[in-house]
Amino acid sequence: MDALLYSFLAGLATTVGALFIMLFGMPGKKLLSALLGFAGGVMLAIALFDLMPEALEHGSMTSVLVGFLVGVFIMYLLDIFIPHAHLSFSKDVALESAPKEAAVDKNILRIGYFIFLGIALHNLPEGLAIGAGLEASPELGLYIAVAIGMHNIPEGIAVAGPLRAGGLSVAKVLFLTLIAGLMAPLGAALGLAFFNISPLFIAGGLAFAAGAMVYIVNDELIPQSHKLSNHIAIGGLIVGLLVVFLLTG
């Protein structure tokens, strides 16, 4: 039960991050570029500094590589079957104005959904990680949950920005970030069921999330953030990388 409680609270931090965006209203082009770059930095850092090393601790190099490549391949398949779209501001998109359901910018919204998917995929193995920590000791489980909760606050900001800019209402954005956060206790529940079968399950799940996130960052977030504002996108990426590095250091 502790694993479910800790993972729920850690996942709820995603919604807390989204609330920050609601306080500042709709992002402009430069802010959206920074948010997309920041999201890319956060997701890359978590994948490389957190998920991959953690996966290797639970399994072999082979299992980690297979899990990573499966995550990449799944996202590649999604990219094939979901029509690919890029951000375009040839027709001035009024990001600063309040969104209306009838005037949703589907390109920006699609980017928001991709970020949402990546964070949701990440939260699933995060729940596994919390459960694994609790298997070792209550203190370690709590430490991991607090660290993941701190990660999830900037992730919530990264999810909420483009979703709001894409035209979703505050209620829908908060609902989606809550769903993304609830993937953590779902992962913890799955972990409780499978931990006694094989540690390779944990390693594969962690590596899968890392592969999916790396694909999303390189295919969507970096190109789209640079289209909006090149140097600001680079700054957002660097800040995202450093934030996660400091939290996991």
Q: How far apart are CA 110 and CA 107, in angstroms?
A: 5
**Once rounded to an integer, what is the mean pLDDT over residues 77-100?**
47
Q: How confident is the model at residue 235 (pLDDT cuts 50, 70, 90)?
A: very high
Q: What's the mean pLDDT in 5-12? A: 87
Which percentage of the chain shows pLDDT scores above 90?
Answer: 6
pLDDT at 86: 45
Is pLDDT larger for residue 234 or for residue 138?
234
pLDDT digits (tens, 9 = 90+) for 153-201: 777 877 887 888 778 888 898 999 999 889 889 888 877 776 666 667 7
d(CA 169, CA 34): 21
State the pLDDT at residue 238.
93
Rounded mean pLDDT of the chain? 76
pTM above the 0.85 mark?
no
Which structure tokens are listed for 15?
Answer: 């919604």
Query: For the chain, first and last CA: distance in Å?
Result: 28
Read off the pLDDT of each residue in 100-105 and give the average, rounded to a whole number: 46
**pLDDT over 70 at 92, yes or no:** no
Question: How many residues would you count in the chain?
Answer: 249
pLDDT beyond 50 at 113: yes
pLDDT at 66 over 90: yes
Quote the tokens at residue 61.
Answer: 């190099």
Name the more confident of 213 and 63: 63
Q: Residue for token digits 């990449």?
A: 72
Confidence band, pLDDT 50/70/90 cuts, at residue 61: very high
Place of tokens 């990546």: 118
Instruction: Give me the pLDDT at residue 133, please.
Output: 63
Q: Where are the domains of the chain?
A: 2-84+102-248
Chain-centroid distance, C-alpha 1: 25
Q: What is the DSSP letter of 103?
A: G
